[in-house]
Amino acid sequence: MRPSACPGTRLAPYNAAMERNDLRRRRARALGPAYRLFYDVPLHIVRGEGAWLYDADGRRYLDGYNNVAVVGHAHPAVVDALAAQAARLNSHTRYLHEGVVAYAERLTSLLPDGLDTCMFTCTGTEANDLAVRMARAVTGHTGAVTLADAYHGHSVAVYPLSTEDCPAQERPPWVAVAPAPDEYRAGARNRRDAFAAERGAAVGEAAAGLSARGHGAALFLCDTAFSSNGVLMPPPAYLETAFAGIRAAGGLALADEVQAGLWRLGEQAWGFRAAGVVPDIVTLGKPLGAGYPIGALVTRRDIAEAFAREHHYFNTFAGSPVAAAVGLAVLDVIEAEDIPRNVRATGRHLADGLHGLQQRYPLVGDVRGAGLFFGIELVRDRATRAPAPDAAGRIRERLRENGVLLGTTGPHGNVLKIRPPLVFGRAHADLLLQVLEESLEWAQHGG
């Protein structure tokens, strides 16, 4: 932060870059080398408000990436709910508390009939970890099917299922990997439903492979926004076939809604609803708390009862009164501000603008997404679909220099990821499109 002057003291001119570099060195010493920072020139962020982030030098950045602050950074209603409950009581789930029960009831009311039992965690990782444990206990199988380039968390149980990070040589024999439904890379846009059914059938084939290896398939996990796969939007036939395949093998179907949930995709509260399927387990995470650590697993009562016959579950910090107060406040804000309507309207406007850029810039091979979640795949050649990860990295940095924050994703690192807070409006979208067009123009001419 800027130094404050004392009377009679002369200070050297404030140097933001020097302060940032010093903080970066201290961070490396204190936190170690496993952590990573965004951007070649890391940001020193000190404040957030709505769709904006502010650095230590007072510069603001349009946040087109952060789904954690689902109703906007530092929303007053969420902050007030957190502070009020923290000042009154914060404990665990081994006492009765009205707020905790009310939050579980509110969450399950947003899900299809039958998904009526909620178990709280602190993160999406913990929710998926609990799901693996539950599926194994209920099915009697030990294996799990995941997708190529998936991400489901970082615990010992789910890291092997996060194929985006876990190297193939470290993959245990109880994990089977099916290909993602990437119709653009497969050149299957002219046969969408057939391709989706084929990739869905691959889940059943992977489950059969687990059975042949003596593990059996307990679970299929699927991020319904296919975020780390490059933000994919397959037809309903994909999830229909995939869920049928895992169930035929005696396993359970899990929808990981950490990325797609809470109206991120616009039309429905959850990503799986677009496919007309109902999972056996739904896992939820960071957007639930708009920055406060909340996760949850929602399942059918019969599954929860079968698990409870042999196992108990407790998590010291999960489902606390403060977590429940924050979670309820987030849902209140979504309802009071009619955030789903904003997501749909802004999403349509943003989609139109992105498709317009695709028509004008050959570097943009594909645009896909819905609501306020889009992937822009950059290619060196549209005919061959050769990925352009270097261009994606340069454009991401150029956007940051010009005050707009996006991410990159996908197996080739060539997909620009747009995933802002859900309060992102038309004016924000217009600014993003303007700066993105300038960046594409710059990259197209050798930037």
**Tens of each residue's pLDDT in the chain, 447 residues:** 454 444 444 555 557 778 888 999 999 999 999 999 999 999 999 999 999 999 999 999 999 999 999 999 999 999 999 999 999 999 999 999 999 999 999 999 999 999 999 999 999 999 999 999 999 999 999 999 999 999 999 999 999 999 999 999 999 999 999 999 999 999 999 999 999 999 999 999 999 999 999 999 999 999 999 999 999 999 999 999 999 999 999 999 999 999 999 999 999 999 999 999 999 999 999 999 999 999 999 999 999 999 999 999 999 999 999 999 999 999 999 999 999 999 999 999 999 999 999 999 999 999 999 999 999 999 999 999 999 999 999 999 999 999 999 999 999 999 999 999 999 999 999 999 999 999 999 998 887
Q: What pLDDT is recorded for position 5?
A: 45
Closest by CA to 246, choosing from 275, 272, 216, 276, is: 216
Q: Are 148 and 171 in contact (CB under 8 A)?
A: no
Q: What pLDDT is recorded for position 236?
A: 96
Closest by CA to 127, choosing from 112, 110, 141, 107, is: 107
Instruction: Considering only CA atoms, give the Rg of the chain.
Output: 23
| Backbone dihedral angles phi then psi of residue 272, each to the nearest 5 degrees | -70, -20
What secondary structure does DSSP assign to 279-298, as a single string? -SEEEE-GGGGBTB--EEEE
> Which fold would CATH assign to domain 77-336?
Aspartate Aminotransferase; domain 2 (3.40.640)
CATH number of 16-66+339-444: 3.90.1150.10
Domain boundaries, the chain: 16-66+339-444, 77-336
**Burial annotation 296-318 (CB, 10 A radius, 16+ → b, else e):** bbbbbeebbeebeeeeebebebb
Q: What is the pLDDT of residues 154-196, one digit of tens each?
A: 999 999 999 999 999 999 999 999 999 999 999 999 999 999 9
Q: What is the pLDDT of residues 258-290, one digit of tens each?
A: 999 999 999 999 999 999 999 999 999 999 999
Gap between the Cα atoms of 22 and 26, Å rounded: 6
Gap between the Cα atoms of 294 and 173, Å rounded: 31
Length of the chain: 447
Angle between helices 236-248 and 192-212 (to 10 degrees): 20
Gap between the Cα atoms of 39 and 20, Å rounded: 13
